[in-house]
């Protein structure tokens, strides 16, 4: 039987730890109660006896990790929400994404960036270079327009039409190169393509002579707040040949999204 501790969490607990079986059951019930509010769904999800689930739920509710009951349904309690809030506030995209980015650079031998959406701009937070002798002009902290960068298009493809309209009306679609999309309808068509295939391309739209394939990264709420790009020179990857790295970019972005706690890994999923 699981041992219920009612003492204050700040007090040192010297009692024996519960068995792995009890701990695993408790975590399974807690996870199911966060995903489903009905008792029957929680039982089905955990595949545990009803009596066991009921007992664990009662304990979690008593300790304020959950709130509610089997009649009204369950939802996260004040203690769990407090822990979750502190955990989320400590999330650092650079710390979480860096090892994944480093692995991706070794796989594709191209420069890899991660950027964060900041209003109507994308700001680089990670840049990792390949083993090749050239270096991209980008740098951590550099801001780029949304409409002409791969990462920016990967982000705004998740926006509502009203949000895209606001971008167009407030910022406009200024040309950075002769390949920049400056027509609103063309941009909307491009964003529809990004949503359909799950990645964006920048073929010299932001900086002449550079190309990239970019994918969205989702936060713990499933929102596209970040982007990842694999970048190189157009001379090395002419036309749209940089697109060959789309599967690797998608896989890395999904891995980062999962590490951030995202319930959704891919745009359009």
Alpha-carbon span 184 to 192, nearest angstrom: 12
Residues 204-262 have pLDDT tens digits of 999 999 999 999 999 988 999 999 999 999 999 999 999 999 999 999 999 999 998 88
The strand ranges marked E within the chain are 66-69, 73-76, 111-118, 121-128, 143-145, 200-203, 210-218, 224-233
Considering only residues 37 and 57, tell me which one the structure prediction assigns the higher pLDDT: 57
Does the 20-88 domain belong in CATH 3.40.50.10300?
no
What's the pLDDT score for residue 34? Answer: 86
* Per-residue pLDDT, 85: 67
Kindly report the average pLDDT of the chain as a whole number: 85
Q: Please report, for residues 76, 90, 213, 233, the alpha-carbon distance to residue 83 in angstroms, rounded to integers and kept in the order given.
A: 11, 11, 37, 45
Q: What is the pLDDT of residues 140-178, one digit of tens each?
A: 888 889 999 999 999 999 999 999 999 999 999 999 999
pLDDT digits (tens, 9 = 90+) for 27-46: 999 989 888 888 989 999 99
Domain ranges of the chain: 20-88, 91-259
Mean pLDDT in residue range 104-118: 94
Band of the pLDDT at 139, cuts 50, 70, 90? confident
Q: Percent of the chain scored above 90 by pLDDT?
A: 53
At 18, the pLDDT band (50, 70, 90 cuts) reads very low
- Greater model confidence, 103 or 264: 103
Provide the pLDDT for residue 81. Answer: 77
By the 8 A CB rule, do 149 and 137 touch? no
Residue 67 confidence (pLDDT): 87
- Burial of 221-249, coded b for 16+ CB within 10 Å and e otherwise, reads ebebbbbbbbbbbbeebeeeebbebbebb
Task: Please write down the HEC assignment for all residues of 78-126.
Answer: HHHHHHHHHHHHCCCHHHHHHHHHHHHHHHHCCEEEEEEEECCEEEEEE
Higher pLDDT, 263 or 106: 106
> Length of the chain in residues, anyone?
269
Tokens linked to 183 = 């027509």
> Which structure tokens are listed for 61?
């509710």
**Beta strand pairing call for 73-76 and 210-218:** unpaired
Predicted local distance difference test score (pLDDT) of residue 138: 73
- Looking at the structure, give the CATH architecture of the domain made up of residues 91-259: 2-Layer Sandwich (3.30)
Mean pLDDT is highest, among 90-104, 127-141, 146-160, for 146-160
Higher pLDDT: 188 or 14? It is 188
The model's pTM is 0.69
């Amino acid at each position: 039987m699981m041992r219920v501790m009612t003492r204050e969490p700040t007090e040192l607990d010297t009692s024996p730890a519960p068995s792995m079986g009890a701990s695993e059951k408790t975590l399974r019930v807690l996870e199911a109660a966060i995903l489903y509010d009905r008792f029957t769904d929680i039982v089905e999800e955990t595949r545990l006896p009803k009596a066991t689930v009921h007992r664990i739920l009662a304990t979690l509710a008593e300790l304020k990790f959950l709130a509610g009951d089997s009649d009204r349904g369950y939802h996260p309690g004040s203690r769990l929400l407090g822990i979750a809030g502190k955990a989320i506030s400590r999330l650092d995209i650079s710390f979480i994404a860096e090892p994944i980015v480093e692995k991706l650079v070794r796989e594709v031998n191209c420069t890899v960036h991660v950027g964060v959406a900041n209003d109507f701009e994308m700001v680089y937070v990670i840049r990792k270079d390949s083993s090749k002798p050239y270096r991209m002009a980008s740098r951590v902290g550099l801001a780029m327009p949304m409409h002409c960068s791969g990462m920016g298009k990967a982000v705004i493809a998740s926006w509502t039409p009203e949000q895209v309209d606001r971008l167009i009306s407030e910022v406009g679609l200024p040309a950075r190169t002769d390949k920049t999309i400056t027509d609103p309808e063309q941009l909307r068509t491009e964003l529809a393509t990004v949503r359909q295939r799950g990645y964006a391309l920048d073929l010299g739209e932001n900086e002449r002579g550079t190309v990239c394939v970019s994918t969205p990264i989702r936060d713990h709420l499933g929102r596209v707040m970040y982007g990842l790009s694999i970048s190189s020179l157009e001379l090395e990857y002419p036309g749209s040949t940089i697109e060959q790295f789309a599967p690797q970019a998608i896989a890395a972005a999904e891995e980062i999204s999962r590490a951030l706690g995202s319930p959704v890994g891919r745009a359009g999923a």
